[in-house]
Amino acid sequence: MSKLIYLLYEGIRNLWRHKLTTFTAIGSVFFSLLIIGIFIIVQQNSHQLIDYVRSEYRIEVFFEDHVNNEDAQLIVDQIKELDGVQSIAIVTKEDALKIYQDQFDENLIDILGYNPLPNSAVINIDKHGNSEVDVEPLITNLEKISNVNEVVYEGTLIRRVEYFYKTIVKIISYIAIGLLVITIIVISNTVKLSVYAKRDLIQNLKSIGATKMFIKTPFIIEGILDGILGSLLAIIVLFVAVRSANAYFADLFSFKILFNIYGMVWLMAIAILIGLIGSYRGIRVLLK
């Protein structure tokens, strides 16, 4: 037990003893995870942004002129059953007249002597999580319903937004995977080199009868601590940056940048694992 406590204590003290290598290892963990953390935040917030844009997607369905309010309600009930419809609101002839008057400051009845506007409905489309939204099948189904005169939607815009989002998500994922691989290699090699710099100490310990486990344990603890401290530093910087950005832009946008703590916990877990693997690889070579 006293040996285990000694080895744990040695691992912690080594951080201070080997200041330069500790600084290098923590620095490389910090910078690599800071970049990966930024990508995680961008990726998480791109979902939020696209949800906001998608909530603005509208399909307007205009009914034939002869369709009265009761018939309009029946058609709306029919539309509700279609795939891809999240909600639907009926806009009666009277509502439409009022909207027209609000927008153009003109009373059509005074001008024409009757209300020419038809009954209509506004559809909010259903969004299937992160997958691409395709409105075309819904439009085809709507056009098939009898007494539907016209379906108005911003098809080109929706297609462009969806294509752009799909491309961005793909690029971010590729960059994040690439960065993760580079980070694993860089951190692992930094920790490995920091162990290699202490080869004299290891030879010394071997000559006075230290077992492999006795030599390895403090180095592995040191590697794990490098990972914890480097990632903690990166998480703190990211957290402060997100909070400051939210406070700074609060008056300009209603959009708030999300900071998902689970993503950061993963980040730390990766750093700990890399620190452990790096130090284990380094020490294994020297103990052969």
Partner 1 sequence: MIGFNNVTYTYPNGMGVFNVHFRILPGEFSFLIGPSGAGKTTIIRLIYMDLLPDKGEVNVNRYSSKKIRKRKIPHLRRDIGMIFQNFNLLNDRNLFENVALPLHIVGYNKKEIRDRVIAILIEVGLEDKAYEYPWELSGGEQQRACIARGLVKDPDIILADEPTGNLDPSTALQIIRLLERINRKGTAVLMASHNYRLIKELGHRFIEIKNGIIQSR
Contacts with partner 1, residue ranges (CB under 8 A): 2-3, 6, 17-18, 200-201, 204-212, 214
Of 274, 224, 206, 212, the closest CA to residue 22 belongs to: 224
Phi and psi at 126, nearest 5°, equal: -80, 135
Nearer to partner 1, 102 or 200 (CB): 200
State the nearest-atom distance from the C-beta of 206 to partner 1, in Å.
8
Vertex 73: Cα angle to 81 and 100 (nearest 5):
115
Q: Among residues 2 and 131, whose Cβ is nearest to partner 1?
A: 2
CA atoms within 13 A on the CB side of 87: 4
What residues does 48 pair with on adjacent strands?
none
CB 190 within 8 A of CB 26: no
Instruction: Write down the least CB distance from residue 227 to partner 1, Å.
Output: 22
Query: Alpha-carbon distance 194 to 178, whole Å?
Result: 24
Q: Please say which residue, 58 or 212, places its beta carbon nearer to partner 1.
A: 212
**Which C-beta is closer to partner 1: that of 93 or that of 216?**
216
Q: Point out which residues pair with 60 in neighbouring strands.
A: 122, 152
Instruction: Provide the minimum distance between the beta carbon of 208 and partner 1 in the complex, in angstroms, as a whole number.
Output: 5
CB of 272 to partner 1, least distance (A): 25
Residue with tokens 């920790």: 191
Look at residue 119 and give its three-state secondary structure. Answer: coil
Smallest gap from Cβ 211 to partner 1, in A, equals 5
Instruction: State the Cα–Cα distance between residues 72 and 88, nearest whole angstrom.
Output: 12
Nearest residue (CB) to partner 1, 83 versus 200: 200
